Amino acid sequence: MISSKIGLNQGTSIPVLGFGTYCDPPRERVEHAVEIAIDVGYRLIDTAMIYQNEKYVGAAIASAGVPRDELFVTTKVYKDAMRMNAVRDSFEESLENLGLEYVDLLLIHRPLSELNVATWHVLEDLYNEGLAKAIGVSNFLIRHLETLCETSESVPAVNQVEFHPFLFRSELLEYCTQHGIIIESYSPMVLGKRSDDERLQVIATAHGKTPAQVLIRWSIQHGCVPIPRSMSENHIRENADVFDFTLSDDEMAGMDGWNEDYSVIGPDPDEPDLH
């Protein structure tokens, strides 16, 4: 069920399916999309300072009429704030934009090699102060995670990365699983760029589902938390309708073999300072 949750290593829990809010201008249209998503049943709402839409997300949350403790709101600090030693200031601006007293999850948006550890320690302070109920990272590779684990008191609750059968990051998934880190999968539907894959269409037809729903379901069955995004009401509702079927072991294994290291957002941050 969309209301189901997964426990995090920092004592809270995260919904099994989220709603991503990144969109191209005009960004105010995200307000209506978030209102629809909350009405459909989404409780995990994911945004970021760099998206320039936190005020619209906050307005939608304020008008939704859902108790704050039933929502799980995520935002992120970007590299500009890391470089300027302004992580706390950036986060406080995010809280003001969102109209919230705390967020449920705060992430480092992208790794910046020489500043990851210092930034993480600021996030730990915000967590200890109760301003972020959980803290994590985004777009981190194993080597970035290892450095944090070696130099910090806490382990990230979440690593939000691009994750789908065409970019099946099995080693990263294994590492995160071993260390109690939940993978949040963004672009779980490959931005529709693989919807015409015949293998995917066969599985979708067999279950009476769309290719997008199969891709979301694959992510969920790997223990990940997908955060599909759409500005279309039909697609927002469709993306949530993934809890009435299960992919078989054979289907899962077959999809695991589709990896082609295809990323819809570009290369991994192997040189994080450059991206």
Tell me the catalytic residues.
51
CA 107 – CA 76 distance, rounded (Å): 5
From 64, 180, 157, select the one nearest 104 (Cα to Cα): 157
Burial class from Cβ neighbours inside 10 Å (0-12, 13-18, 19+) for residue 153 reads exposed
Residue type, 181: I
The answer to whether the bond into 26 is cis (omega within 30° of 0) is yes
From 111, 44, 91, 94, select the one nearest 72 (Cα to Cα): 44
Cα angle: 162, vertex 165, 171; to 5 degrees: 70
Tell me, rounded to whole angstroms, the distance of Cα 23 from its chain centroid. 15
CA 179 – CA 21 distance, rounded (Å): 28
189: helix, strand or coil? coil
From 35, 33, 6, 8, select the one nearest 22 (Cα to Cα): 33
From 272, 233, 12, select the one nearest 127 (Cα to Cα): 12
CB-hemisphere CA count at 13 Å for 88?
A: 9
